[in-house]
Amino acid sequence: MKARQAPARLDLNRRTVPTTGVEVEYFCRGCKGHYSRTVPLKTLKEIACRCGSSNLLIYSVASEISAPLRAG
């Protein structure tokens, strides 16, 4: 009879990853569009839409390294 193996454990600890840019997904209340783009981390507070509006609803922020669209 085979011995039962314990199931593999997931490591759920968060890693600290240095980054200089972030990928931001947002909805612009000015032109009513959904957009995604990469911006420098230092300018995140000053982000504006392509139309020039700064009235944004930001719904996702991810570092460039962990951004799902940039996985390579």
| Higher per-residue confidence, 64 vs 61 | 61
Asked if residues 38 and 64 have their Cβ atoms less than 8 Å apart, the reply is yes
pTM: 0.62
Asked if the structure places residue 56 within a domain, the reply is yes
> How many domains does the structure of the chain reveal?
1
**Position 4 in a domain:** no
In a domain, 13, yes or no: no
Q: Which domain holds residue 39?
A: 21-67
Question: Is residue 2 assigned to a domain?
Answer: no
Residue 52 within any structural domain of the chain: yes
Q: CA-CA distance, 54 to 39, in Å (whole number)?
A: 14
Which position has the higher pLDDT, 69 or 29?
29
Residue 16 lies in a domain: no
Q: What is the pLDDT of residue 40?
A: 86
pLDDT of residue 26: 95
Environment class of 22 (CB within 10 Å of its CB; exposed 0-12, middle 13-18, buried 19+): buried
Length of the chain: 72
The 10s digit of each residue's pLDDT in 2-59 is: 666 655 554 545 655 566 788 899 999 999 999 999 888 888 888 999 999 999 999 9
Confirm whether 10 is domain-assigned.
no
